Structure 1
């Protein structure tokens, strides 16, 4: 059976990894003022976004994920012919309509694929499974990496689906923003009350940065640091401890909203790299998606891993 993967553009995995495993990216259109960027994890388009130095204007951006019709077309014109089963992994449904769009599209796809495959001379049935990763950005990575491993091992679709749901339920995502004013402005734009004016003012005045966690679709602060560099040290120290304690998926996924050379210089990152190398954990480093940057601001760090339930201490 030919099995493949599709992810949305907010999944922060390296372009080389996506291409190596023939992972299809469902694009997201990002409109800032009168400019449109097509977010499909293309490094050149990410570079164009960064080079434009849109700064604080990005918080007012409009993001348009693939519509139900566009997803139907992607599958019926391409994927139902190339694969016999496709797993679609999406950003958490609590933060984006993408999961709902793919689910709705699946009904029309599964109703129409037979005639499409028949006309192309492709025998047999087609299946698609939609998985909510219950996380976002770099933390969409562990489930995707595990899906690649299981597909390469020729595991049956039912086993893959069950495993991916387990991984999604046990993935911990973290974010360290640079600019709380930006984060609050973006939250206000999206009617999200998770970042208040008082906390934004206090954070900027004292240079206090929150460490935010996403777990099972719920997001909120789990720690705070005096300055971005101290926050990075705390976050990477936590990740290093989890690597040494053991992970459900041997992967640690990190993204940065800018030049990846900056990521390598942040306090605590060298120790995380060393721990991953010593324990055989795959460390993926990727530029944050354009979608991610307009939502949390340039210069932010996101990180994700799958692990057994544990106490989060910062």
Structure 2
């Protein structure tokens, strides 16, 4: 069975890995004033756009790949190239992408027979849209696992069961660099989770919140004075989780800027060494453009799948 994998461009995985794995991308469009960029996970284009327009990033508008274009992509290409496709989306609670894909799936499954038959395929086509329940680096866990299972020749039902299991057990932790930016962005989106008092005190005292996403829910789990100590605490948490045992041999990192800056943060080397000792593959990438406009340049995120745990 030919199994295809689709993700949206908010998924923080290296573009070269996505291309090598044959993963199909649903792009997100970002507009800041009159400037617009379609996010195709090109790190240099992302960094250039942020450098040129980032001071107004908190007012950016993002547009999810629309349902009609998802339908066209499948009917023109994917129903011919594959027998079963997994569409893995950013958390439904944070974006319209999942609902657009789910809406398109009904039409796709009703209309695939003619183009598939014309291409010489008599067997049925199947599609499963899965809410990753994750954002940023945490969204990368499911595609990596799907590729591993596909390479191991697992069946589509086996892959589906495993991905749905992991979606509820994936975690993202994040440290924003600029709390004022994050507050401005959340206000623009109508999200009051970062209060004026927190933003003001955070700026005055250089307090950085550590934010957490699990099962589609986001919120703070800690706070540390200074970005570098907060990043160190994030890495230390990941080191502990790796030592305790992850549910997949995968750890994802994303950073809202040049990766060399992330690699110079305290305890980054310890984390990489610990992952190497425990057979954990590390994926590093520049954060997606849609991610960067939502949390601000310079943010650090880390994602993995693990048993329930407390952030300490």
Normalization by structure 2: what TM-score?
A: 0.98
For residues 14-55 of structure 1, the C-alpha deviation after alignment (integer angstroms, 9 at most, x for no partner) is: 011101110011000100110111102123422331342x23
| Mapping 1:262-281, distance limit 5 Å | 262-281=261-280
Q: Please state if 1:42 is matched with 2:30.
A: no
User: Aligned residue for 1:260?
Assistant: 259
Query: Structure 1's 206 and 44: CA in aligned 2 closer, same or farther, altered over 3 A?
Result: closer
User: Aligned residue for 1:237?
Assistant: 236
User: Aligned residue for 1:130?
Assistant: 129
| Mapping 1:97-116, distance limit 5 Å | 97-116=96-115
SS at match of 2:298: coil
Partners of 1:257 and 1:288 within 8 A in 2? yes
| Mapping 1:1-314, distance limit 5 Å | 1-52=1-52, 54-313=53-312
Q: In 2, distance between residues paired with 1:118 and 1:48?
A: 44
Normalization by structure 1: what TM-score?
A: 0.98
Shift of 1:206: 0.3
Q: In 1, distance between residues paired with 2:47 and 2:210?
A: 26
SS at match of 1:238: helix
Q: In 1, distance between residues paired with 2:253 and 2:265?
A: 12
Q: In 2, distance between residues paired with 1:43 and 1:225?
A: 29
Shift of 1:217: 0.6
Partners of 2:54 and 2:293 within 8 A in 1? no
For residues 231-251 of structure 1, the C-alpha deviation after alignment (integer angstroms, 9 at most, x for no partner) is: 001000000111111100111
For residues 278-297 of structure 1, the C-alpha deviation after alignment (integer angstroms, 9 at most, x for no partner) is: 11100110000000000000
Q: In 2, distance between residues paired with 1:113 and 1:152?
A: 26
Partners of 1:56 and 1:182 within 8 A in 2? no
Q: In 2, distance between residues paired with 1:44 and 1:200?
A: 30
SS at match of 1:12: coil
Q: In 1, distance between residues paired with 2:44 and 2:79?
A: 29
After the TM superposition, which of the residue ranges 293-302 and 150-159 deviates more from structure 2?
150-159
Let me know the Cα RMSD of the aligned residues.
0.9
Q: In 2, distance between residues paired with 1:51 and 1:201?
A: 25
Partners of 2:210 and 2:222 within 8 A in 1? yes
SS at match of 2:203: helix
Partners of 1:71 and 1:102 within 8 A in 2? yes
Aligned residue pair count: 312
SS at match of 1:312: coil
Partners of 2:84 and 2:125 within 8 A in 1? yes
Partners of 2:50 and 2:57 within 8 A in 1? no
Give the 4+ runs in structure 1 shifted more than 6 A. Answer: none
Shift of 1:143: 1.2
Q: In 2, distance between residues paired with 1:97 and 1:191?
A: 15
